[in-house]
Amino acid sequence: MFWLVGVGSVVTVGALWAVALHNGLVHLRNDIDRAWANVDVLLLQRADEIPNLVAVCRGYAAHERGVIDAVLRARDALRAAAGPVGRGAAQEALNGALLQVFGLAEAYPALRADAVYANLMRRISALEDEIADRRELYNACVARYNTRLGQIPDLWIARFGGQQPRPLFTAAARALPSIASAGALSPPSRAAGVSPRPDPARRPSRR
């Protein structure tokens, strides 16, 4: 009789221990989901600024259609992508396209001086700062979770529950220099295929 009580106690303690481990993994998994939701909403907010940026650029560089169409396609691809892996690949493509758009400001000084364009660049750069911060938190949560999944006894609980490692979000967070590090937003190096254009608002001086 007493040995049955002892066995029952061991089984109960073991079950409680396994439940505690499982709940700990679930808590970490929920942390990852919350952290990713915060990253994702900022990615979409940044993407939502692209049409406004394109509208301003068209007013000064309407014939640069290849650059403008490329960034719109990249923006649509990001919105259609899903999850850290899909969004990450789309984010990298969008960053490359945005560099081309920002490079237009070097070729068109009037565009660079436009107040709406400058405000949009500040808005996008501020969102990129937030994305970088949230990405760091997300990746930290993923690292903790994946480490637990590789350790015994969590490994056994995870296999029994069908839990899998989560992917990191490795895409670059920004296409623009940080406002804090750059001071004022300066355009990046000239976009490939974009030649400097004379500013229509400026006239050569006569001597």
- pLDDT block averages, 10 residues each, the chain of length 207: 60 70 83 95 94 89 85 94 92 89 84 89 89 94 91 76 86 60 41 42 42
Helix (H) or strand (E) holding 127: helix 115-149
Q: How far is CA 37 from the centre of its chain?
A: 11
Distance from C-alpha of 21 to C-alpha of 114, rounded to nearest angstrom = 57
Helix (H) or strand (E) holding 25: helix 2-61
What's the pLDDT at 61? Answer: 81
Distances (CA, A) of 100 to 46, 64, 81, 119, 178: 16, 10, 22, 18, 17
What's the pLDDT at 20? Answer: 77
What's the pLDDT at 24? Answer: 79
What's the pLDDT at 170? Answer: 85
What's the pLDDT at 191? Answer: 39
Q: Which fold has domain 17-182?
A: de novo design (two linked rop proteins) (1.20.1440)
What's the pLDDT at 41? Answer: 95
Distances (CA, A) of 184 to 128, 147, 179, 180, 181: 15, 41, 6, 8, 9
What's the pLDDT at 10? Answer: 61
What's the pLDDT at 167? Answer: 93
What's the pLDDT at 163? Answer: 81
Look up the pTM and report it.
0.76
User: Using an 8 Å Cβ cutoff, are 138 and 36 in contact?
Assistant: yes
Q: What is the SS3 assignment for 177? A: coil
